[in-house]
Chains A and B, each alone.
Chain A
Amino acid sequence: MTLFIVFGALALGAAVAMVFQRNAVHAALLLVLNLLAVAVLFLSLGAEFLFASQIIVYAGAIVVLFLFVIMLLGVDRSEVVLEHTPFQRRQIALGAVSALVLIGAAAPVLGSKTLTAKLPAIPKTFGSAQSIGTVLFQTYLLPFELTGLLLLVATIGILMLAKKKPR
């Protein structure tokens, strides 16, 4: 529980700080912190495979790519000046109010102790590499295959939109 409070707060704090960060490089680094804290939460739930892949794939590969792109574009040199127009300020206020309403509606539900009382107990192997493999390649085989198709679409899309000169 202590572990959850410490790293949950860290994940939340890093996420909020990332959104309000004006320097893109710093924002990406805060994202790493957030992802690492979430990885620890996975570990505390006994999902060591997710813990490892979260660090390797997200904190490792993806954010490093983010940093490459940010530095290649040179965003760190010219900081984006954020000046809010009155319209935007009203939008932000509206967003804050609706966020509070949503949290107010969701908090009593999510805080209730009897919420998952009737659910069957979680099996010991839940989250292990073996059980993830079984779920991924048996029950969810079709979604897994479709993810491959999704990556094909993404590849075609990138080539179409970002390639310098159309043939």
Chain B
Amino acid sequence: MSFLRLSGVSKKHGRQSILRDIDLSVSEGEFVAIVGYSGQGKTTLMSLIAGLARPDEGSITLEGNPVTGPGPERGLVFQNYSLLPWLSVRENIALAVDTVFPAWSAAERDAHVDKYIAMVKLSHAADRRPRQLSGGMRQRVSVARTLAMQPRILLLDEPLSALDALTRAKLQDEFADIHRTTGATVVLITNSVDEALLLADRVIPLTLGPGATLAAPVAVDLPRPRDRLALNHDPRFKRLRADITATLLGFNAARTTTLTRKLVLPDILPEDLDQPRVNRPPRRLSEEKREIVSVS
């Protein structure tokens, strides 16, 4: 039995189909990456799993329970962090902890918050506001907030797309660590094939919209822990990357359309240079009192 299952899910925006026939099943502890182009419905797919939007057709179940709305058991890490700017790092995480575990004592909750701040290595910045943090630190806070809710499944919606390459690499390693140590089930949405291959057990390309759907999954059988430097020389990694990239580029090639456009000449006629050069208005074809007969 699969842990998270989407069957026949489709979503329209008005009359425009965004996603159609999405079938996905994720088993417990699995790390699945969905790769696709920007603006093709990746974030919509994540909103559907998170319960922030409802599918028009099909069903989504987590551990057999249908998903009908958002909830803390599906921990969503937002693409743009969504930290509350008027709360400090600690308060942002505490808001989540206090809401999700109201039965705990205050001391237990404090300890829980501290534990997750330490997990993302931000203990020194616990009392700062999000404004005073770098992008990478903000994303770490966002991850800590989500993990502190102890979700059954972690949903990462392009979590690193707004970060510089170095911070990105660092956080990718942290995600891999979190997955290894907690055994969490993770669905990652990304536009980076390398990132997907570095982290996931299975990579699923998303076809182009409108009406995007999931293509055939690619199993990533690279041994863990994966070292990004060693991977670059691993022939299996190279082959997988080439395959997935080719699949993604293939979507694009299939969609290439030809455009025919009628070119219109400017409405002006050449000046007669035999005439004396006085200030006269340009001659226009539309103003000439004559008929043009084309002889074929």
- Whether A associates with B in a native complex is no
